Chain A
Amino acid sequence: MKAKVYVTIKQSVLDPQGVAVQGALHSLGFNEVESLRVGKYMELELGDVSKEAAGDRVKEMCEKLLANTVVEDYRYELEG
């Protein structure tokens, strides 16, 4: 089982890094970029577990460590 975890800064929270990267794209002529948010992508190899069990465990990992839910949102995908 493989899990892909995406962590992004909440929409309500300013992402200075995203703003800076968006500015850089604009200066390169990519003016269509209306918004950009920088996040984190993590790949987890989970071994031989059921999808349901993996989902519960990954959610717990996100809540406890992988995301700080005060300022970040997370979502994940399970494969295999």
Chain B
Amino acid sequence: MKFAVLVFPGSNCDIDCYKAVENVLGEPVDYVWHTATDLSAYDCILVPGGFSYGDYLRCGAISRFAPVMNEVAKAAEEGKFVLGICNGFQILTEAGLLPGALRRNMSMKFACRDTVLKVENNATPFTRDYAAGEEIVIPIAHGEGNYYCDEETLEELRANNQIAFRYKSNPNGSVDDIAGITNKAGNVLGMMPHPERAVNEILGTTDGKKMFTSIINAWREQHDAANVR
């Protein structure tokens, strides 16, 4: 299974994502610059955190028009796995690959600390190794992670089981305590917390590891099923 970590000018969690894949899974992973126009070699696209394009105008507003984003949309369409973390989540919402938007934190403060998340949907390719309702410790680091969507969209998210993670104690004012959501098909996930920073004891928590093992297990299952056919 091959992973791509996108790199925009201003990305700063790209190395963490790369190392998480390398250390947890030992699978091949490449950095892919935002100008790339072909992602066909990759099975999973990681859109990392940071401050792409300096967060100018709005977080993710400019990055979503980077050439590579057309390819991300194509990969999502094809059912490949796309995981956006923090700024990556913001980019995916701006690109319309996920519903809603991320607003300034209610507190107006940059929030940088461990949070407890509840796994609300463990039937996604990103969460299948967690138990339903499992509580996990994953750090957040954002100033604009306050998820917003209108009532109608929220009803849809609930009805389609698109809410992957909720905060146990809401750190930013997010609608319905939402920490991460998927698209309708379930192959695109965006979340503000950083699982890639939670993969080693020396980082304080290893609860993010199962996100990465989930991805590879989901891919293997798909892949093996294809071989049998």
Is the pair A16, B104 in contact by a Cβ cutoff of 8 Å? yes
The interface residues of chain A lying within 8 Å CB-to-CB of B146 are 16
Interface size class of B (residues with CB under 8 A): 20 to 34
Q: Which of B57-65, B183-191, B221-229 contacts A (4 or more CB under 8 A)?
A: B57-65
Count of chain A to chain B residue pairs whose CB atoms are closer than 8 Å in the complex: 38
CB-nearest residue of chain A to B102: A71
Interface of B toward A, CB cutoff 8 Å: 57-58, 61-62, 65, 93-94, 99-101, 103-108, 146, 148-150, 173
A77 to chain B, nearest CB (A): 20
Is the pair A14, B65 in contact by a Cβ cutoff of 8 Å? no
A62 to chain B, nearest CB (A): 12
Is the pair A14, B103 in contact by a Cβ cutoff of 8 Å? yes
CB-nearest residue of chain A to B153: A70
Residue in contact with B104 in the complex, picked from A17, A65, A70, CB distance below 8 Å? A17
B142 to chain A, nearest CB (A): 14
Answer whether residue A66 sits at the interface, using C-beta atoms and an 8 A cutoff: yes
Is the pair B100, A70 in contact by a Cβ cutoff of 8 Å? yes
Interface size on A, residues (CB 8 A): 13
Interface of A toward B, CB cutoff 8 Å: 9, 12-14, 16-17, 20, 40, 65-66, 68, 70-71
CB-nearest residue of chain A to B106: A16
